[in-house]
């Protein structure tokens, strides 16, 4: 028995556990970069991890993972054996606009020490900063019967966003306005349908806000009126014929300053006619930036559109709107030129609508309207660009007193969108011919005229838009010789 007990004691002594080393790892973080975003292509020290290690038996390795982990760098990749305090600096070098996520990992052979932390960064491109624009130019106040619905559309344009944006109804009038989408793409144009759904009669005010990381939020205000409705026909907008030929002008210009937005256009001397249907041309104003970023100015113009939220899809009504200039004195004017700017918006690649510039006179006592053959923007690619026009009537068979008309014909309804604007209309501007080489008629012979001439020669623009001004050498053709000639004019050769 004694020998057995001695043997057992010896065994117990051999298998007794060895005391474990009390190794530990403590990690604390401090954000070094206090900005909300980092410019593309730059490097910043982003976050510091202070690592306090005690009695490490093996090194601790540090590395980055994550789908954008490559955009984060480390100044230290290992914590040594033993006891130490180490500052691990994570740098952020974004190479693409966006929201980036990485993970810093601390890995030891002792699994109990392993840990990791997520790191989030936002990158923007200062050359293309995040912007949100809302085009609500076609919106008019909502109006429908209580219990019914009315829809209109806006366009939200986003550029350079680092992450998806958000669109929301602010809730000033809960439940009365709905939107078709609440998420905005990083780059693109979204057509958003706003639905007015009043339950009871009344006037409702609401706002809609678009927002995104690093972009200035944009808010629009909308109103709606709900009533009992009725079957009264819509009042005809605008003026009535006949045209007045008295006091024809030898010189004239207007920029439509001060016209009421989205209301029937009323400018002295002009006739605004609803030829078919009840709608006429409206006034409008674009907000434009000035040298002071906190101040904007309004660029007023005439507007015509076939969009009508009150006419449901599939029930469009034919309409024709004619805007007629004051009487123009052809006989006594020195310069025989009409100039104006024209822009189309929300244009589609079909032939459902027609915009025409027309010659009009009352020479035989009756209304004579003749569309002028010229290129007018009519496709989606041409939307949103102002085009200058010069109509030279020199040598043409023109009545002593005549008019210029802008006629728009289209189906009018909620599923129709084409819109046109007219601005800066002049007749016999300055009573002096435009200089040779001034293709676009803006009063200067410069690079813009060279570009206009090149576009005509390449077939990217129509010579009729400039009434032959692109034929610089006067040989009846638009070719390389004209390009060389206008370059010489610009260079003073």
pLDDT for 433 equals 47
Question: Does 98 reside within a domain?
Answer: yes
- Say if residue 414 is in the same domain as residue 467: no
- 198 shares a domain with 101: no
Mean pLDDT in residue range 102-109:
94
Q: Identify the domain boundary among 411, 433, 455.
A: 433
Q: What is the CA radius of gyration of the chain?
A: 35
Which residue, among 282, 321, 353, 352, has the nearest Cα to 140 in the 3D structure? 282
In a domain, residue 12? The reply is no
pLDDT in tens, 230-244: 444 678 899 998 999
Answer yes or no: is pLDDT of 56 > 80. Answer: yes
C-alpha–C-alpha distance, residues 466 and 59, integer Å: 77
Q: Residue 368 belongs to what domain range?
A: 252-433
Domain count, the chain: 4
| Residues 399 and 353 grouped into a single domain | yes
Instruction: Quote the strand ranges of 239-293, DSSP E.
Output: 252-254, 271-276, 282-289
CATH number of domain containing 223: 2.60.40.10
Q: Are 199 and 148 in contact (CB under 8 A)?
A: no
Residue 388, domain member (yes or no): yes
pLDDT tens track for 261-276: 999 999 999 999 999 9
Closest CA to 393 of 366, 420, 421, 374: 374
pLDDT in tens, 78-102: 999 999 999 999 999 999 999 999 9
pLDDT in tens, 171-212: 888 889 999 888 899 999 999 999 999 988 889 999 999 999
Q: What is the pTM of this model?
A: 0.48
| Residues 419 and 442 occupy one common structural domain | no
Which of 333, 455, 457, 322 has its CA nearest to residue 391?
333
Which pLDDT band holds residue 366 (cuts at 50, 70, 90)?
A: confident
Are 285 and 424 members of one domain? yes
Q: What is the pLDDT of residues 429-485, one digit of tens each?
A: 854 445 677 777 666 788 888 888 888 888 877 776 666 678 887 777 888 888 888
Strand partners, 312: none
Domain-located, residue 386: yes
Q: What is the CATH number of the domain that holds 369?
A: 2.60.120.200
404 and 267 share one domain? yes
pLDDT the model gives residue 19? 41
Under the banding of pLDDT at 50, 70 and 90, the label for residue 2 is: very low
Q: Mean pLDDT across the chain, nearest whole number?
A: 87
Q: Are residues 394 and 354 in the same domain?
A: yes
Q: Domain check: are 145 and 167 in the same one? A: yes
Q: Identify whether residues 273 and 422 lie together within a single domain.
A: yes
Q: Considering 433, 454, 482, which residue would you say is the last residue of a domain?
A: 433
Helices 480-491, 447-457: inter-axial angle, 10-degree rounding: 180
Within 13 Å of residue 129, how many CA atoms lie on the same side as its CB?
7
Q: What is the pLDDT of residue 4?
A: 37
Residues 118 and 149 in one domain: no
**Residues 143, 170: one domain?**
yes
Provide the pLDDT for residue 21: 57
Question: 399 and 268 in one domain?
Answer: yes
Question: Residue 89: which of 53, 118, 48, 61 has the closest Cα?
Answer: 48
pLDDT, mean of residues 44-70: 93
């Amino acid at each position: 028995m004694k020998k057995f007990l001695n043997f057992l004691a010896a065994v117990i002594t051999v298998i007794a556990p060895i005391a474990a080393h009390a190794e530990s790892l403590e990690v604390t973080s401090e954000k070094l970069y206090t900005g909300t975003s980092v410019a593309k292509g730059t490097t910043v020290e982003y976050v510091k991890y202070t690592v306090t290690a005690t009695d490490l038996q093996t090194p601790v390795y540090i590395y980055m993972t994550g789908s954008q982990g490559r955009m984060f760098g480390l100044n230290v990749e290992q914590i040594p054996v033993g006891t130490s305090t180490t500052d691990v600096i994570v740098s952020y070098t974004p190479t693409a606009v966006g929201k980036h996520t990485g993970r810093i990992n601390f890995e030891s052979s002792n699994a109990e020490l392993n840990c990791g932390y997520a790191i989030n960064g936002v990158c923007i491109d200062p050359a293309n900063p995040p912007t949100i624009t809302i085009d609500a130019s076609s919106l008019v106040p909502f109006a429908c019967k209580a219990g019914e619905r009315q829809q209109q559309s806006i366009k939200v344009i986003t550029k350079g966003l680092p992450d998806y944006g958000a669109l929301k109804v602010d809730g000033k009038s809960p439940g009365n306005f709905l939107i078709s989408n609440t998420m905005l793409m990083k780059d693109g144009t979204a057509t958003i349908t706003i639905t007015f759904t009043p339950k009871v009669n009344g006037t409702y005010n609401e706002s809609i806000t678009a927002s995104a990381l690093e972009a200035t939020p944009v808010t629009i205000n909308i109103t709606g009126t709900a009533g009992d409705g009725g079957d009264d026909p819509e009042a005809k907008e605008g003026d009535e014929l006949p045209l007045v030929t008295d006091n024809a002008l030898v010189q004239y210009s207007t920029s439509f300053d001060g016209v009421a937005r989205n209301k029937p256009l009323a400018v002295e001397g002009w006739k605004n006619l609803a030829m078919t249907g009840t709608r006429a041309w409206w006034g409008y104003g674009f907000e434009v930036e000035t040298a002071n970023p906190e101040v904007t100015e309004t660029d007023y113009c005439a507007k015509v559109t076939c969009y009508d939220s009150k006419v449901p899809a599939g029930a469009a009504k034919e309409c024709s709107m004619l805007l007629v200039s004051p009487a123009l004195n052809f006989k006594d004017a020195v310069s025989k030129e009409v100039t104006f700017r024209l822009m189309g918006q929300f244009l589609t690649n079909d032939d459902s609508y027609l915009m025409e510039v027309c010659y009009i006179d009352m020479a035989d006592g009756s209304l004579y309207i003749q569309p002028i053959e010229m290129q007018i923007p009519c496709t989606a690619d041409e939307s949103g660009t102002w085009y200058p026009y010069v109509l030279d009537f020199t040598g043409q068979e023109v009545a002593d007193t005549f008019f210029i008309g802008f006629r728009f014909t289209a189906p009018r309804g909620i599923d129709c969108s084409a819109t046109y604007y007219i601005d800066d209309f002049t007749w016999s501007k300055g009573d002096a011919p435009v200089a040779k080489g001034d293709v676009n008629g803006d009063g200067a012979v410069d690079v813009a005229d060279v570009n206009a001439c090149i576009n005509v020669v390449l077939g990217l623009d129509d010579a009729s838009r400039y009434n032959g001004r692109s034929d610089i050498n006067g040989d009846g053709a638009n070719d390389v010789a004209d390009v060389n000639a206008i370059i010489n004019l610009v260079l003073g050769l």
